[in-house]
Amino acid sequence: MNKFYLGGLLSLLFLFACPVYALEEGTLFLTPTHGDDGTAWGQKQCDGCHLINRIHQQRGRSIQTIVRRKSYESCAGCHGSNGTDLKKLCLLCHNGQDLPISPTMTGTENHNFTVGQVNGLSDEQCISCHKSSNMNGQFELNIDLTAFPNASERDEEYVRITDFCLRCHNLDHQQAGFEILNKNFRDPLIAMEKNYNFLDMHGYPKGSGQRTYFGLVPNYRYASVVECTDCHAMHGTHNPKLIIDSASKGATQLADPTNYSVKVINGDYSQLCVLCHRMQNPVEDARLDTGNGLSGVHLTGADEDCRQCHTHGRAVQVGL
Ligand code: HEC
Ligand code: HEC
Ligand code: HEC
Ligand code: HEC
Ligand code: HEC
Ligand code: HEC
Ligand code: HEC
Ligand code: HEC
C-alpha cells in the first residue's frame, strides 16, 4: 500500500468520525464551513434551504414558537450574518410585547453608553453587551455577556456581573470604542474600579453589622459585596443614573418577592436603600414610610439629600 493511499484512507476515516461543524465553537454563529463545502456561506436566503417548520425540533418550545412567528427575519439575530450584510435583530423579539420581562425595558433611562442621552436601546447596543448569547433562557455570565479583556489585556472569565462593568468603568484600561473621556478622576464613571475594590461600603466587604443603624433584610449580609446591577438597571428605568425603579429590576437576593417600587426624588434615595436596609433598633426616621410601603432607614423625605454623606468613593465612615 503506498503512503498516499494510506493518507487518503485516514482522511476519509477522519471525515466520517467528525461531524461537519458549521457553527463557531460555543456559539450559535455560522462559519465559512456552512452548508456542503461551505456553499451556504455568504447566502442571505435561509428559506432557500431550511424549512421553518423543520428546524429547532430539539429545542424547547420557547424559541421554536417565536422563531416561527418572526420568521426568516430573525435568523441572523441568533446565527450571525452568515458572511453577508444581514442585520442581527434583537428588538424584533426582545420587546414589551413578545418578551416583556426578558429583559424589562420600561422607563426612559437605560445604559445607552451616553450620559444624558435619552433614547431606547438599539440592536447594536444589545450586541455590545451580549455579543453571542445562546438564548437558552438561562443567564450565564461567561456566555451571555461580551468578553471584554481585563487590565492585562487578557480574556479572564467573569466571576460576578460587577467584573463585567469594571472592564469599562475604570481609569486606565477602558475598552476601545467605549472610552469615557474628559471626566474628573473622582467621577464614578471612571473611578468605580477603585471605589468598588477599596472604598465603597457595597464593594470591598467590611461591614460588621455593629453600627447604630444596623439591620439588613434576609439574604443580604454584612461583610459581603453587592453587585452593581442590584442598584443599577441596564435595560430601562424611570430613575436618573440608572437607579432601579422597582425591586424586580435589581436587588436580586431579596427573600421578599413583593415588587416594591423605587422612586428617587432629588437626592432622597431612601426607597432604594430600604429594600435591603431595615434598622433593627429603630431611631430617627426609621418608623417613617419611605413612600413605597417600607420603613427602616435613618432618614427619608423629599428634603433629605442622602448624597451629602452617601456617594460612591467616599472613604470615611459613610459612603455608598
Ligand atoms: C444553499 C443552502 C443553504 C442556505 C441558503 C442556508 N443554509 Fe444553513 N445549512 C445548509 C446545510 C446543507 C446545512 C447542514 C450542513 C452543515 O451543517 O453545514 C446547514 C446547516 C445550518 C445550521 C446548523 C449548523 C450546525 O452546525 O448545526 C444553521 C444554524 C443554519 N444552517 C442556518 C442558516 C441560516 C441562518 C441561513 C440564512 C442566513 C442559512 N442557514 C442558509 C444549507 C443552507
Ligand atoms: C432565538 C435564537 C434562534 C433563532 C432566532 C434561530 N435559531 Fe436556529 N438554532 C438556535 C439554537 C439554539 C439551535 C441549536 C444549536 C445547537 O444545538 O448547538 C439552532 C439550530 C438550528 C439549526 C440546526 C438544526 C436544527 O434544526 O436544530 C438550523 C438549520 C437552524 N437553527 C436554522 C435557523 C433558521 C433558518 C433560522 C431563521 C428562521 C433560525 N435558525 C433562527 C437558535 C435560533
Ligand atoms: C451595558 C450593557 C448591557 C446592554 C446595553 C444590554 N444588556 Fe442585557 N444584560 C446586561 C447585564 C449586566 C445583564 C444581567 C444582569 C441584569 O439583568 O441586571 C443582562 C441581562 C439580560 C437578559 C437576561 C436577564 C433578564 O433581565 O431577563 C436579557 C434577555 C437581556 N439582557 C437582553 C438584552 C437586550 C435585548 C438588550 C438590548 C435591547 C440588552 N440586553 C442590552 C447588560 C446589558
Ligand atoms: C427569535 C427571537 C429572538 C431574537 C431575534 C433574539 N432573541 Fe434573545 N432570546 C430569545 C428567547 C426566546 C430567549 C429566552 C428567554 C427566556 O426564556 O426567558 C432569549 C434570551 C436572551 C438572553 C438571556 C440569556 C439566555 O441565554 O437566555 C439574552 C442576553 C439575549 N437573548 C440577547 C439577545 C440579543 C443580543 C439578540 C440580538 C443579537 C437577541 N437576543 C435576539 C429570543 C430571541
Ligand atoms: C463596554 C463598556 C461598558 C460596560 C461593560 C458597562 N458600561 Fe456603563 N457606561 C459606559 C459608557 C461609555 C457610559 C457613558 C459615559 C459617558 O457618557 O461619558 C456608561 C454609563 C454608565 C452609567 C451612567 C448612566 C447615566 O445615564 O447616568 C452607569 C450608572 C453605568 N454606566 C453603570 C454600568 C454598570 C452597572 C455596568 C455593568 C452591569 C456597566 N455600566 C457596564 C460603558 C460601559
Ligand atoms: C441590594 C441591597 C442593598 C441596597 C439597595 C443598599 N444596600 Fe447598603 N448594604 C448592603 C449590604 C449587603 C451591606 C453590607 C456590606 C458590607 O458589610 O461590606 C451594606 C452596607 C452599607 C453600609 C455600611 C454599613 C456598615 O456596617 O459598615 C452603608 C453606609 C450602606 N450600606 C448604605 C446604603 C445606602 C445609603 C443605600 C441607598 C442609597 C444602600 N446602602 C442600599 C445592601 C444594600
Ligand atoms: C447600593 C447601591 C449601589 C451599588 C451597589 C452601586 N451603585 Fe452606582 N450609584 C448608586 C447611587 C445611589 C448613585 C447616585 C449617587 C449620586 O447621585 O451621587 C450611583 C451613581 C453611579 C454612577 C454615576 C452616574 C452618573 O451619571 O453620574 C455610576 C457611573 C455608577 N453609580 C456606577 C456603578 C458601578 C459600576 C457599580 C458597581 C461597581 C455601582 N455603581 C454600584 C447606587 C449604587
Ligand atoms: C449627615 C450625614 C448623613 C446623611 C445626610 C444621610 N446619612 Fe445615612 N448614614 C450616616 C451615618 C453616619 C451612617 C452610619 C451610622 C452608624 O450606623 O453608625 C449612615 C448609615 C446609613 C445606612 C446604613 C445602615 C447600616 O449600618 O446598615 C443607610 C441604609 C443609610 N445611612 C441611609 C440613608 C438615607 C436613605 C439617607 C437619605 C435619605 C441618608 N442615609 C442620609 C450619615 C448620613
- Which ligand minimizes its atom distance to the CA of 69? 4
195 lines ligand 5 (CB under 6 A): no
Nearest Cα to 160, choosing from 205, 211, 212, 216? Answer: 205
pLDDT confidence band for 316 (50 / 70 / 90): confident
pLDDT confidence band for 20 (50 / 70 / 90): low
Q: pLDDT by residue (tens digit) across 70-117?
A: 999 999 999 999 999 999 999 999 999 999 999 999 999 999 999 999
Q: To the nearest 10°, the Cα dihedral for 102, 106, 112, 114?
A: -160
Region of residue 182 (left: phi > 0; alpha: psi -120 to 50; beta: else): left
Nearest Cα to 150, choosing from 129, 131, 125, 170? Answer: 170
Q: Which residues line ligand 2 (CB under 6 A)?
A: 23, 28, 46, 50, 52, 55-56, 58-59, 63, 67, 72, 74-75, 77-79, 135
Nearest Cα to 242, choosing from 113, 139, 122, 90? Answer: 113
- Which ligand minimizes its atom distance to the CA of 149? 5
Of 55-64, 112-121, 218-227, 284-293, which range is least confident?
55-64
CA distances from 316 to 192, 278, 296, 309 (A): 16, 22, 23, 9
Q: How far apart are CA 256 and CA 253, in angstroms?
A: 9
The whole-number pLDDT of residue 58 equals 84
Nearest atom in ligand 4 to the alpha carbon of residue 145 is: 29
CA 31 to chain centre: 26
- Which ligand minimizes its atom distance to the CA of 102? 3
Of 89-93, 114-118, 169-173, 297-301, which range is least confident?
114-118
Q: pLDDT by residue (tens digit) across 245-281?
A: 999 999 999 999 999 999 999 999 999 999 999 999 9
Residue to substitute in 23, 24, 49, 88 for testing ligand 1 pocket (most ligand atoms within 8 angstroms of CB): 49
The whole-number pLDDT of residue 256 equals 95
Cβ–Cβ < 8 Å for 167, 175: yes
Cell of 303: 428634603
Tell the residue nearest (CA) to atom 12 of ligand 8: 318
CA 209 to chain centre: 30
pLDDT confidence band for 16 (50 / 70 / 90): very low
